Structure 1
Amino acid sequence: MALSHIIAHRVQRLDPTKEAVISTRDTEWLVDGRIEECFRELKHTMMKRLGKDYGCFSEDRAAHPLSPWLDEYHQEKISFESFSQKAMKHLALEIDKTEEPLDGFMILAHERLATSELLHIFFVQHQTGQFIDGDLTINESFYLDTSGIRLAVKIDLDDLYSEDPHRTSSAITLLRWRGEKELSDIFIAFIGFTAKVDVGAETDKFLDVVTDYTKALPDDIAHQTNKQVVDYCLEQNKIGKPVVISELSAQLK
């Protein structure tokens, strides 16, 4: 894991009759062991969550400016801090269109891996916990609930800027806040997300085709083939990627 940039900002609106208050950090976090562990926990939590959506940016870039700002950052026209601060101001505008109360932190991170480049955005909240202090008295403290993220998005920058339309159409993986439709809608509008790919449905259709194909194979080969295909499809579905026939064929050889 190569964490290039990471920063946190706060968003708060406790009174639904008032505007959201955004507290932005001027400089990104310096990456150390604690920061890397926090980021790793956030990534792992999102990866485990079921029911994620897959798609791309809306074509209405004026109404959803995160996409053009990301272009500017990717082209090194603006800094990571500037990109994140612009994003937070736009988030405040989306929140103010509703009366939803909200209190938490937006953590934005740019990760460079050997095979891909990713932008992550997590909405994280504090939780309270009890501890016994030096006077052996029960007290409360706050901690960052990295295992309970409610809203998150992962943008595969390699897919986003690819010339392959199938890759660009599924460049964004989005985690909704289940049971909180208005807050999820705010986040979707903030990102400018549009769902164009139902990876689960595509996988189900492909598995049906494979089942029909393996009926003509000997039982032992059919069983092994089905297992390999299912394992591959489930892994692709988990990470929000479509089935790639050439990859699957290589695994079956």
Structure 2
Amino acid sequence: MAIKHLRTAFASQYQPGQPARLRSGEPLQEPGGDYEALHKQMKRLFNSKPGKKYGRFSDALADSPFSAWLKDYLEDKQTFAALTDRLFGQWQELLSGCQEEFDGHLMVVHEALADQEVVYLILLETDGAMRFDGDQRLDSTDVLSLSRLNLALRVELDDWLGDQGGDNYLTLVHGRGTGEPGELFIRLCGFNNSVDVEKETLTFLDAVEAFAKSSAPEKAGEVRTRAYEFCKEQHALGEPVEIEALSSYLDEEQPQRFKEFASQNAELPDTGVLHPDHRKVKKLVRIAGSGGGLSLSFSSDLVNQAVYYDRDKDALTITRLPKALREQLQRYLESRET
């Protein structure tokens, strides 16, 4: 089984200023079955979540002792039950000072994969549902949401405790609208942001664009497309972009060509790893914009083939219209004429 240990706790804060309530479940070892299925779905949501942050544990252990507790557990100085008791206790304490109402299930998972071990902290959300009870009376209930994930942390244990060390062994999902509970979750995790995703996105885009322009004209579009595909695949796996792996993907015959070009023309991190935002990387293959009642999006390969831009007149000419768009225009004009 992939899951070595798992435990959940339900915490609620319905009256700000009053102590939060917490009910914890029993620690489970290799729970299998439905727990594996639930965790698999949460990982799928985690990997696909845009705007993730990357970092390391805070050095302020007095405020965020989770890293010290986790290390003691991994070194067999305390059990998983003791680790989660401490973690759940701190979560209850943090929520007791929260000025916003909150409820949710905190799930802690220690997962052992073939090539690595990871620990997840996941805030499970709930959705309302209707059902008939045993007397056929309509009743409302709460069920776990399998489509929403706004607060979660992943710890890459090998990267954290390995000889290489590093500053990017934590991955955080911190969705918008999580308010004060979201900030408290970050404190619970002891997360310290160490990666400027926006800067690394620009570095990635500039390096790929410069490499594409240096390639033969007929190959430039292929370079951009393959770079975007590689980035998208890594995002689906929840993994960053390794420059060496990308270089091999872009040119199998000369696998070091892009890596050497990028190292000379871009400020790459010493790790050789970038964390680009896959949503912005899409600019490599698509041109899009909206405003003033107009919204346009088309493949960059169509520029000067089916889409022509006149800089002097600031005008765009589009040929080879999509069939559906052409039919809509014709119907609209016919209705106006009648």
TM-score of the superposed pair, with normalisation by structure 1: 0.89
Amino acid at match of 1:206: F
Question: Take 1:29 and 1:149, find their aligned partners in 2: how far apart are those partners?
Answer: 24
Q: What is the CA-CA distance between 1:133 and the residue it aligns to?
A: 4.7
Asked if structure 2 preserves the Cα contact closer than 8 Å seen for 1:200 and 1:237, the reply is no
Match of 1:184? Answer: 182
Amino acid at match of 1:84: T
Match of 1:198? Answer: 196
Amino acid at match of 1:189: R
Question: Take 1:136 and 1:57, find their aligned partners in 2: how far apart are those partners?
Answer: 52
Asked if structure 2 preserves the Cα contact closer than 8 Å seen for 1:127 and 1:144, the reply is yes
Question: Take 2:145 and 2:228, find their aligned partners in 1: how far apart are those partners?
Answer: 33
Secondary structure at the counterpart of residue 175 of structure 1: strand
Change in 2 beyond 3 A, CA 1:200/1:3: farther
Question: Take 1:70 and 1:240, find their aligned partners in 2: how far apart are those partners?
Answer: 22
Kindly provide the CA deviation profile for residues 211-253 of structure 1, in whole angstroms up to 9, marking residues without a partner as x. Answer: 1122121233222222222222344456564432221222231
Question: Take 1:216 and 1:46, find their aligned partners in 2: how far apart are those partners?
Answer: 36
Secondary structure at the counterpart of residue 141 of structure 1: strand
Which blocks of at least 5 consecutive residues in structure 2 are unaligned? 253-338
Amino acid at match of 1:110: H
Question: Take 2:238 and 2:61, find their aligned partners in 1: how far apart are those partners?
Answer: 24
Match of 2:152? Answer: 152
Asked if structure 2 preserves the Cα contact closer than 8 Å seen for 1:54 and 1:240, the reply is no
Match of 1:128? Answer: 128
* 1:3 and 2:42 are equivalent in the alignment: no
- Listed as ranges, the matches of 1:10-159 within 5 Å are 10-28=10-28, 31-133=31-133, 136-159=136-159
Match of 2:333? Answer: none
Question: Take 1:240 and 1:194, find their aligned partners in 2: how far apart are those partners?
Answer: 19
Asked if structure 2 preserves the Cα contact closer than 8 Å seen for 1:173 and 1:240, the reply is no
RMSD of aligned alpha carbons: 2.2
Amino acid at match of 1:172: L
Which blocks of at least 5 consecutive residues in structure 1 are unaligned? none
Match of 1:175? Answer: 173
Question: Take 2:134 and 2:78, find their aligned partners in 1: how far apart are those partners?
Answer: 48
Kindly provide the CA deviation profile for residues 128-168 of structure 1, in whole angstroms up to 9, marking residues without a partner as x. Answer: 21124565542223311232233111111122123335xx3
Change in 2 beyond 3 A, CA 1:96/1:227: same
Q: What is the CA-CA distance between 1:28 and the residue it aligns to?
A: 1.9
Question: Take 2:67 and 2:219, find their aligned partners in 1: how far apart are those partners?
Answer: 47
Match of 1:208? Answer: 206
Question: Take 1:9 and 1:226, find their aligned partners in 2: how far apart are those partners?
Answer: 46
Question: Quick check: which has more Rg, 1 or 2?
Answer: 2
Asked if structure 1 preserves the Cα contact closer than 8 Å seen for 2:46 and 2:238, the reply is no
Kindly provide the CA deviation profile for residues 44-68 of structure 1, in whole angstroms up to 9, marking residues without a partner as x. Answer: 1222222221111101122210000
Kindly provide the CA deviation profile for residues 82-120 of structure 1, in whole angstroms up to 9, marking residues without a partner as x. Answer: 111111111122223332222111111111112221111
Q: What is the CA-CA distance between 1:70 and the residue it aligns to?
A: 0.8
Identity %: 28
Bigger shift: 190-199 or 17-26?
17-26
Question: Take 2:145 and 2:204, find their aligned partners in 1: how far apart are those partners?
Answer: 38
TM-score of the superposed pair, with normalisation by structure 2: 0.68
Match of 1:247? Answer: 245
Change in 2 beyond 3 A, CA 1:100/1:193: same
Pick the aligned partner of 2:216 from 207, 213, 218.
218
Question: Take 1:161 and 1:140, find their aligned partners in 2: how far apart are those partners?
Answer: 46
Question: Take 2:175 and 2:206, find their aligned partners in 1: how far apart are those partners?
Answer: 31
